[in-house]
Amino acid sequence: MNALEPSLVLGGMDTRGLEENWMRMQANSLADNSHTGSQKKKKKKKGKLTSASNGLREGSHTDAVMGLSWNTIHRQVLASGSADGTVKLWDVTHTTSGGDAGDYVRPSATLTHHSDKVQSLAWHPSEGTLLATGGYDRKVCLVDARSAVTSANAGSVKKVKLLADCEAMAWDPHSQHYLTVASEDGVVQCWDVRKFDDPVWSMVAHEYGGVSDICYNPQVPGMLLTCSIDKTVALWDTQHAPTPQSCGTKDMNVGKLYSVSCYPSSPWLMACGGSGNELAIWDMEEEDAIQNRFAPRVSLDGAVPSSKNDGIEPDFEAIMASGDNDATAKALEGMNKSKKKKGKKKKVHKRS
């Protein structure tokens, strides 16, 4: 297999018949040049490719793709958010033959609950059909794939309003009913999605330049990292009430920062990247203040559940076909029941 060629295409340009149209255009051009019947040639418009070859494949995004999220339960399912204002759900095991153009995937569903660009999205780590999305319409939304067909219906989508455009979002892997969202005004907020009204906490993480990305440490409960175009990474303790406590900032010396990520196999490594055309890694193992605060919390088992299906992926489109308008509410209600079964636990976040 050619490593530079994609093994699968999700939407995109429909290139079928492109060569034939190009040859037809060349033939028309030669015919025009050889015409000598009149002294003044009539101007002809250049041949245009037909819509079948110049257009997009069925179901494609019509503008830039701004965010992606793989489903950790239904591992063959990918969600994409676009500047065209839509969210699309793709089951990569359902391919369609494109002839000479190769196989491609049509979206299983297209969600239209945002009115502007969709910047960020994240599948819930254990509720396999629950998706969080955020956009430039300054809304954070919760939608269940089982109600995807009727997602425009106000009752099937839960929404909260932001004061600025959404830039990034993340589920807390250690308290999975908490959804944290960062916006371009530098504010980071956290909601308990079982209620999804007022935020549990809200803070200004970066005063200059806003917050470009956030990341929870999957092995250290309560450790949240944020980055900004002010060139710094900030470390926060979300177990501190009533709002997260700052545990320091670090200038990574790689320019304005746009992405931050924790290393999944070590609790103390973090990577970030930005405008300096370089990546930077912060090893926090030698930071005494960080070790004193977070080392006793380290979980060697991790927090993200695995999908136990013996390699057989469930039919995601069949799940969506149930068409349950109340699926989002049922998924959130399921979180409450799950918590009751586990009994009382130490609270990670507290409301002021």
Q: What is the pLDDT of residues 272-288, one digit of tens each?
A: 999 999 999 999 999 99
Residue 338 above 50 pLDDT?
yes
Longest alpha-carbon distance in the chain: 92
Q: Are 128 and 109 in contact (CB under 8 A)?
A: no
CB contact set of 74 (below 8 Å; sequence gap of 6+): 128, 129, 307, 313, 314, 316, 319
Question: Which range is most confident: 16-30, 52-66, 74-88, 320-334?
Answer: 74-88
Q: Tell me the average pLDDT across 249-271.
A: 95
Lowest mean pLDDT among 18-22, 63-67, 156-160, 264-268: 18-22
Look at residue 181 in the predicted model and tell me its pLDDT: 98
CB contact set of 88 (below 8 Å; sequence gap of 6+): 11, 59, 61, 79, 80, 82, 107, 109, 110, 111
Spatial distance between the Cα atoms of 111 and 86, rounded to a whole number of angstroms: 6
Q: Tell me the average pLDDT across 230-258.
A: 94
Residue 125 above 80 pLDDT?
yes
Percent of the chain clearing pLDDT 70 (strictly above): 67
Pairing state between β 9-10 and 104-105: parallel
Instruction: Return the higher-pLDDT residue of 116 and 303.
Output: 116
Structure tokens at 281: 């890694």
Burial class (CB in 10 A: 0-12, 13-18, 19+), 2: exposed
> What are the φ/ψ torsions at residue 130 (nearest 5 degrees)?
-100, 125
Residue 332 above 80 pLDDT?
no
CA dihedral sign of residues 124, 309, 267, 232: negative
Q: Tell me the average pLDDT across 97-120.
A: 82
Look at residue 284 in the predicted model and tell me its pLDDT: 95
Confidence of residue 91 (pLDDT cuts 50, 70, 90): very high
Structure tokens at 306: 């695995």
Angle value at C-alpha 273, between 63 and 187, nearest 5 degrees: 75
Percent of the chain clearing pLDDT 90 (strictly above): 56
Q: Tell me the average pLDDT across 284-312.
A: 74
pTM listed for this prediction: 0.76
Residue 101 above 80 pLDDT?
no
